[in-house]
Amino acid sequence: MLLEQNPDINSLSNEGMTPLHYASRGALWEDEHARELEGHPDMVQFLLDHSADPHVRNSKGWSPLHFSAKSGNLEVSQILLEHSTEVDAQTHYQSTPFLLAVEFGTPDVMRLLLDHNADTQARNNDGDTALHCAAVRGRLENAQIILEHNPDINSLNNEGMTPLHYASGGAQWEDEHAKELEGHPDFVQFLLDHGADPHVRDLEGRTPLHFSAVRGNLEVSRILLEHSAEVDARDDHRSTPFLVAAEHGTPDVMQLLLDHNADTQARDNDGDTALHCAAVHGHLENARIILEHNPDINSLCNEGMTPLHYASRGAQWEDEHARELEGHPDLVQLLLDHGADLHVRNLEGKTAAEVACGPQQQEIIQMLSEHAALNQRNKE
């Protein structure tokens, strides 16, 4: 009835979407009709029968096939391809329907696209291949299909990262699949079994083990080490997996690295030791492990700062952990209990108490003052 009143079947929304885009994509919100997210084959067929154009791109360069491929809708994708839609159409990000199907979709849609001669060598604007796209979200079955058609398992993207880097680190963004941030052990094992090289460095010198150590992924780290990953590999900042685990990771990953003889004396380009790295973010349990293996509690970085300076001051950059800017009282106490010298001055002549100058750091200043008074009384 609507077509009788308004025959403009290819009319565009503000985002450049036609009704065919919408029918191919389905709804974008979760509600009691969750299957609406999958697209609507009957509606797609109806629109095409009434001369809807399957080649129209929206404002981001997406065709209807991009949407059906991403959502894994086999029937919609089949109908669109039967109406001569472009199988290798590229979005403004250079993503093809095949790349989207690999990362978000299903194996059956991938095989359908391959049956229509989809380009298995396609790369997006980041230089990611199909295997990179599968690796970032751990789509193991999708990866098995890719290797049947494109066996370049160590291909590099624009940042020098292999699919193994991606699988070891997981997705780099927060979304509804937060666990994808943790890396994918099964995928890592699969890649290594098919000849992936665990020693490849990205453009910042980072190995896959750096990524799993940062993420605190014990299982991925163990698998990499079992395949002879270099435990003390240094990135361009001279950070080792042990140093990044101390700063960002978990105690169990640190212990695993120690079990593989990680260098506890390592320093990065700033002269930071593992204890400095743990102190800046207030990782108490990490610091406890470090002190068991490297008791140099008053070691100085290039700026003359001790771990106590770092723990008193906190991180110096704004991020999602803004409270870290306030310092870490529990870690300050641990360091003091292990003999940290609160009188050490950095290259600017400041003690730990003097770098803890923020309004939220009064507790730390009080702790340091009381500790200094106690030391003075003991001397007397």
Residue 57 CA: distances (Å) to CA of 12, 22, 226, 365, 370 = 10, 12, 47, 60, 68
The pLDDT assigned to 294 comes to 81
Cα gap 360→364, rounded to integer Å? 9
The pLDDT assigned to 325 comes to 62
- pTM exceeds 0.85 for this model: yes
Cα gap 310→286, rounded to integer Å? 15
Give the fold, CATH level 3, of 270-380: 1.25.40
User: Which sequence spans correspond to the domains of the chain?
Assistant: 270-380
The pLDDT assigned to 183 comes to 85
Cα gap 249→242, rounded to integer Å? 9
Cβ 51 vs Cβ 9: under 8 Å = yes
The pLDDT assigned to 35 comes to 47
The pLDDT assigned to 171 comes to 63
The pLDDT assigned to 218 comes to 96
How do residues 322-369 score in pLDDT, each as one tens digit?
A: 445 678 999 999 999 999 999 999 999 999 999 987 666 888 888 888
Q: Which residues contact 41 (CB under 8 A, 6 or more apart)?
A: 73, 75, 76, 79
Rounded to 5 degrees, what are φ and ψ at 218? -65, -45
Residue 284 CA: distances (Å) to CA of 166, 248, 300, 308, 348 = 29, 12, 19, 13, 27
Residue 190 CA: distances (Å) to CA of 120, 137, 178 = 19, 14, 22
pLDDT per residue as tens, the chain (380 positions):
455 555 689 999 999 999 999 999 986 655 554 444 578 999 999 999 999 999 999 999 999 999 999 999 999 999 999 999 999 999 999 999 999 999 998 999 999 999 999 999 999 999 999 999 999 999 999 999 999 998 899 999 999 999 999 999 976 644 444 444 578 999 999 999 999 999 999 999 999 999 999 999 999 999 999 999 999 999 999 999 999 999 998 999 999 999 999 999 999 999 999 999 999 999 999 999 999 998 889 999 999 999 999 999 987 655 544 445 678 999 999 999 999 999 999 999 999 999 987 666 888 888 888 887 776 666 65
The pLDDT assigned to 175 comes to 47
Is the dihedral angle over the CA atoms 65, 68, 74, 80 positive or is it negative? negative
Q: Which residues contact 338 (CB under 8 A, 6 or more apart)?
A: 291, 295, 297
Q: How far is CA 114 from the centre of its chain?
A: 29
Closest CA to 78 of 112, 104, 51, 106: 112
The pLDDT assigned to 330 comes to 94
